[in-house]
Amino acid sequence: AQSVTQLDSHVSVSEGTPVLLRCNYSSSYSPSLFWYVQHPNKGLQLLLKYTSAATLVKGINGFEAEFKKSETSFHLTKPSAHMSDAAEYFCVVSSGGYQKVTFGIGTKLQVIP
Amino acid sequence: GAVVSQHPSRVICKSGTSVKIECRSLDFQATTMFWYRQFPKKSLMLMATSNEGSKATYEQGVEKDKFLINHASLTLSTLTVTSAHPEDSSFYICSARDSQPILNTEAFFGQGTRLTVV
C-alpha cells in the first residue's frame, strides 16, 4: 500500500522569496517519488523525480527536492519564486514495476508580485 | 523524455452523445496505460488501467459501460465517454509507461482533455 500527503493545499509567497511545498509519503516498498506541475488548463509536466539514486534531486526551472527516508518526506523547494511558478503542484509516489501511481491532493502555489 | 500525445485537448458535446479521447505513446511502446479524471479542486483519480490486448481494469465506482476503454495496440489507448451527461464534464488525463521491464520507471502524461457536456 502507498499514500501521499501534501500538507498544504494552498501556499502563497512573494516573488523572489523561497518556495517550500511539503510532501510526506508511505510505501511498503522502495518508492519512486515525483513532483509534477500543472498550469491552468494544461496537462502535467514532470519537474523532477527520485528513483533510488542521489537523495537531493534537481529538476527543471530551479526546483529541487530532497528524499529523506527517516522522515518519509520529499519536499519541493526553490530559492526564489517567479511569477511563472504560479500553478498546482502534485507529489506522486510509485512503488515498483507497473503499479499505478498515487497522487497527492495537490498544492496550489500563488506568487504575489 | 518520452512523449504521450492526447487528443483532443478540448471538446464540447451535447448531452446524450459519445466522445472518444485518444492517448498515444509517440516514441515508446506502452503495454499499460492509465486513465485519470480530475475533479475541480481535487487531485487526479485513477479511473482504469488499460492493458494492451485485454480488458481494462476499472477502479471501484467507475462505470465500465459508460467509460469504454480500448487498447488495441502498444501505442494507442482510447477512452469513450458514452451517452455523456453534464456531470461527466471534467479534465481527463492519460498516462503511459514504457513496456521495458525497468522498475520504478516514471509514467508519462498526456496533455489532458477538457470535456464539457452541454
Q: Is A55 on the interface with B (CB under 8 A)?
A: no
Q: How many helices (H) and strands (E) does chain A have?
A: 0, 12
> What are the tens digits of pLDDT across the range A1-53?
788 999 999 999 999 999 999 999 998 777 889 999 988 877 788 899 888 77
Question: What average pLDDT does range B52-77 have in this prediction?
Answer: 91
List the one residue out of B71, B60, B88 whose CA is nearest residue B30.
B71
> What are the tens digits of pLDDT across the range B83-112?
999 999 999 999 887 766 554 456 778 888
Bigger pLDDT: B117 or A46? Answer: B117
For residue B104, the model assigns a pLDDT of: 46
Say if the Cβ atoms of B103 and A43 lie within 8 Å: no
Report the chain A residue with the minimal C-alpha distance to residue B114: A41
pLDDT band at B27 (very low <50, low <70, confident <90, very high): confident
Other C-beta atoms closer than 10 Å to the C-beta of B115 total: 21
Say if the Cβ atoms of A104 and B49 lie within 8 Å: no
The grid coordinates listed for A112 are 504575489
